[in-house]
Structure 1
Amino acid sequence: MERSQPRRQVAAMKQSLFDQGLLDEQFIQLEELSDDANPNFVEEIVTLYYRDSSRLISSIEQALIGAKKVKAECTLFREYCRTGNAEG
């Protein structure tokens, strides 16, 4: 009886995530890949996904910051060209 309570909680949480559209049939496919040899497969894949996503988002943020700096310099350069400021 004690073991079925956590399972019900997990099932209810999973159903809630499906209802919210946060999980879909791909999650079910991942679950089907779990077996006795690798019972934590889904957890490992989700962890890797979020770790990689976090790293990629950080890279994108850095690229955006760099792009903003390049844009600012190009705007300044264009203004120098427009005004004939050879020194600029």
Structure 2
Amino acid sequence: MLLGLGANQLLADMNRLLSLLFHQGVLDEQFLELQQLQDDSSPNFVYDVVNIYFNESEKLLSNLRGLLVDKEFSDYKKMGKHLNQLMGSSSSIGAKRISNICLAFRAASDQNNRPACLRALEMLENEYCYLNNKLHEFFQIEQQRVLAGGVRYPIQQQQQQPPQQQ
């Protein structure tokens, strides 16, 4: 048996995880288009783009949270700007459910509906955590697959006894 076969199993695990996320509506085809842009010249392209997305989204969620925590809050236009940014970047990586929650959040903010905005923020934060955890898991499996794929030595070679001294 070759260690390289482990890479095939890890690839199957990656595909199962992606399949689940598509089936749940967490991701859409935009994520696949992002993957197609990755090649040997930029092997970490998807990881890098998604990492930037998570860093920026964390700031936007923090800003939204900050606006809604303020009891005197009335600047729904400012909230709309943050939501538009989050919706745009979510769409660009294929984060479908986050984009959809942003739409509902935006509708609530357009109506100056603070209770609905608070509910939408909670949903958004939960969805963000779920996506973050699942994509983190995906990239961990991918990293293991790359490492497993790079090693092509039969297992027996690693278990051989050292040569006897004469």
What's 1:49 paired with?
Answer: 53
Root-mean-square deviation (CA, aligned residues, Å) is 1.5
CA distance in 1, matches of 2:40, 2:32: 17
1:65 partner letter:
V
TM-score (norm 1): 0.70
Does residue 58 of structure 1 match 2:56? no
1:69 partner letter:
E
Aligned-pair CA distance for 1:24: 0.7
1:46 partner letter:
V
CA distance in 2, matches of 1:51, 1:19: 26
Taking the TM superposition and a 5 Å limit, the aligned residue runs for 1:9-24 are: 9-24=13-28
What's 2:9 paired with?
Answer: 5
Does residue 29 of structure 1 match 2:33? yes
Aligned-pair CA distance for 1:61: 1.6
What's 2:159 paired with?
Answer: none
Does residue 69 of structure 1 match 2:64? no
Percent identity, aligned pairs only? 36
Any stretches of 5+ residues in structure 2 without a counterpart?
A: 75-166
Highest CA radius of gyration, 1 or 2? 1
Any stretches of 5+ residues in structure 1 without a counterpart?
A: 72-88
Aligned-pair CA distance for 1:25: 1.0
Q: Deviations over 1:25-49 (max 9, x none)?
A: 1001101110111111111111111
TM-score (norm 2): 0.39
CA distance in 1, matches of 2:23, 2:38: 23
Q: Deviations over 1:5-40 (max 9, x none)?
A: 111111111111111111111001101110111111
